[in-house]
Structures are given as structure tokens and as C-alpha cells.
Structure 1
Amino acid sequence: MTRSLPSAIAELRLLVGFLGEKSQHDWWPSSFLATTSDAFLQPVFPRTTLLAQYHGLCEAARIVHDERVGIGRHYHLYRLPEGLEQSMAQAVSAPEFAASVKPRLTSTESTLARLAELAETTNEPAEGPVLVGAFDTDQLNPLMQRCAGHYQAAYTKGYQRFPYLKAN
């Protein structure tokens, strides 16, 4: 990935989040990235519409992930260390981020195609929570690629999978 790690993880969150929303695969009952949401939020958050959508989507996905994976001595795509969370929010606020990511969130097909580009292929048939490895800042890029592979497989094959990382 050529972009910064916070930008790459924020993009992954948006891709997975979009696919998990109510009108796509219905993993969580939100529609923050729907066209109607954009039209509703634009007047209220004209310069930070994507950031508002990002925060709403992340919270909806975090609730479901926490229910399935649990809260405690591990991390998942929507629950990461605070410093990284702040860096991701800053990345999403950048105009060039929105310009590069928003076009990928227009359809299930385009979003799945981008997710496949970021994913490390997995053939593991597990449904539900899946341990991907131990959280390591230096290895976070390949760990996130593994997570992307699990999400991509789940969305493609029609089941729910929640990759997580063991905290040190």
C-alpha cells in the first residue's frame, strides 16, 4: 500500500463498513454511506461529510464487532489503539482521501473489487470470530491485509466473519 498506514486502515474500514451496511450485506443496521445519507449530512457537515459518515459507520460496525469478538485483550478493525484512531480520523479529513475513496463506495461490485485488491487471499472456511495474529504495530499492514482477506471471503461467500488481533 502506497498511502500511509492510517489512510490505508481508514479506507479498509470504509470498504468493509459499506459492504456491511443494511442495503448491502446487512451485518449492521446502518446506512451512513448511502446516497441519501450524503444528501442529508451535506448541509449539516459541508466540509466534513465523509468524516461524519466515517464516525457513524465505525460506531455501528464497532458495536457488532464487540458483540461477536468481545471487548478486552484484543483489537479488531473497528477497535484499535487511540493514537491510531486519531491518525485515521485525520486521514479521513483530508480532501484527497475523500476524492480517492468515495468513488470506490458507489456499488457493491466496485467496493468488493477494491477490497480484493487490498486483501491477502484466505481459504479458511471459518465463520464468526477469527484470530488473525498478535497486534504488532510493525506488522500492522500485513495483518490488515489478512483481515481484508477474511472480510472479502465472507462477503463473497455470504457469511459473517470477524477477524481480530490478540493484544500483547
Structure 2
Amino acid sequence: MRKPDRTRLLEARLLVGYLGERAQCNWWETAFHEPSSRPFLGPVFIKTAGLARYHGVCEAARRLHDEHLNVDGFHLFRLPEEIEQDLHGLMQGDVGETISACLTQSREAALDALSRLAIAGRPASDGPTRVGTIAELASERTLGLIAEVYRSAFSQGIRAYPYLTP
């Protein structure tokens, strides 16, 4: 299996994580990207507040997706361990902080950025949406489909959960 572009995958995860938070589209009740989270996270995670924010949002998103999807499948917030480790490594470096800072300025900016990752497809429908297999995640098309499902769902005010089968 060819490796997907981890930077684009991280970008999609950060955008969806931001858009799913309570202040944007309210898919999960976290507020890690709100200004009030900085004083809360800063003293505890002095050098790793961005990483803590990332993992907090990912865990909230993972739980919501897992509630609506088959436990054997994969989704943007539950990927094979090798990919999860690669994304964590990117977040620890400058790449993750740079992407995170640029993409989470406003809901509109995040939706625009998600649109640039997306490929045209049919409008999302409420609930689970199969977009391919985990082996196909390496293709730019599959990541584009995932981004389009989320973009369409956020724009329509519905909840769609794109997933990949083993």
C-alpha cells in the first residue's frame, strides 16, 4: 500500500477537527480552538499546548465517529497505527503548528481550505458514507472524497461520517 500524503491528511484532520467544535458546527462539545483554551492548556502543557489541543479534538471526533460507524472500519480520526504515528510526528514538528495556525482562523477560512482539498462529488447525506478502502487512502482522490463529504455536510448543517473499509 502506497503511503498517503501525510501533510494533506493532517490538514484535513485539523480542518474537520476545527469545524466540528462547538463554536463552529457543534458536532462535538470541545472548545480547544477557542481563545479561552490557551490559559487552560498553557500552564499544564507549557511546550506542547498545540499537541494537546490536537489530541483533545481528535479524541472527541473519534468518539463521535465511532458511535456512528462499524468498529472494523477506518475514518479520518481512526487510522492504522503507522499513519497515526506519522500524523503525531508531524504535529510535534513545525509542520503541524504551521498548518494549525493557518487553517483555524475562522469558520469561513476553514471551509474554504477544506474546499481546496475536496473533489467534486454528490452532496453528503446524513449519516455514514463509504468512500473506499483503507488501501485507497493513498490516492489523492480518496482524500478528496473524504474532504468533500465533510465540506458538504458542514455546509448543509448535517452530520456525515465518511469511512473506509479494511
Give me the TM-score of the superposition, normalised by structure 1: 0.90
Distance across 1 between alignment mates of 2:148 and 2:32 = 23
Distance across 1 between alignment mates of 2:96 and 2:148 = 22
The question of whether the paired residues in 2 share the 8 Å contact of 1:75 and 1:166 is answered with yes
Which of 79-88 and 32-41 deviates more? 32-41
SS of corresponding position for 2:74: strand
Is residue 2:131 matched to residue 1:132? yes
Distance across 2 between alignment mates of 1:103 and 1:33 = 12
The equivalent residue for 1:155 is 154
Give how far 1:97 is off: 2.8
Give how far 1:163 is off: 0.3
Give how far 1:113 is off: 0.8
Distance across 2 between alignment mates of 1:96 and 1:80 = 20
Deviations 1:98-155 (A, max 9, x none): 1233122021011111111111122234211000011116634321111000000000
The question of whether the paired residues in 1 share the 8 Å contact of 2:11 and 2:99 is answered with no
The unaligned stretches of length 5 or more in structure 1 are: none
The equivalent residue for 1:42 is 42
Is residue 2:65 matched to residue 1:69? no
CA 1:125–1:56: 2 relative to 1, 3 Å:
closer
The question of whether the paired residues in 2 share the 8 Å contact of 1:7 and 1:92 is answered with no
The question of whether the paired residues in 2 share the 8 Å contact of 1:151 and 1:161 is answered with yes
Is residue 2:58 matched to residue 1:58? yes
The question of whether the paired residues in 1 share the 8 Å contact of 2:74 and 2:134 is answered with yes
Distance across 1 between alignment mates of 2:61 and 2:162 = 13
Give me the TM-score of the superposition, normalised by structure 2: 0.91
The equivalent residue for 1:79 is 78
SS of corresponding position for 1:159: coil
The equivalent residue for 2:28 is 28
Identical columns (%): 36
Counterpart code for 1:51: L
Q: How many residues are matched?
A: 163
The question of whether the paired residues in 1 share the 8 Å contact of 2:137 and 2:143 is answered with no
Distance across 1 between alignment mates of 2:132 and 2:159 = 19
The equivalent residue for 1:118 is 117
Distance across 2 between alignment mates of 1:75 and 1:139 = 14
The question of whether the paired residues in 2 share the 8 Å contact of 1:68 and 1:128 is answered with yes
Please tell me the root mean square deviation across aligned C-alpha atoms, in Å: 1.6
Distance across 2 between alignment mates of 1:95 and 1:134 = 30
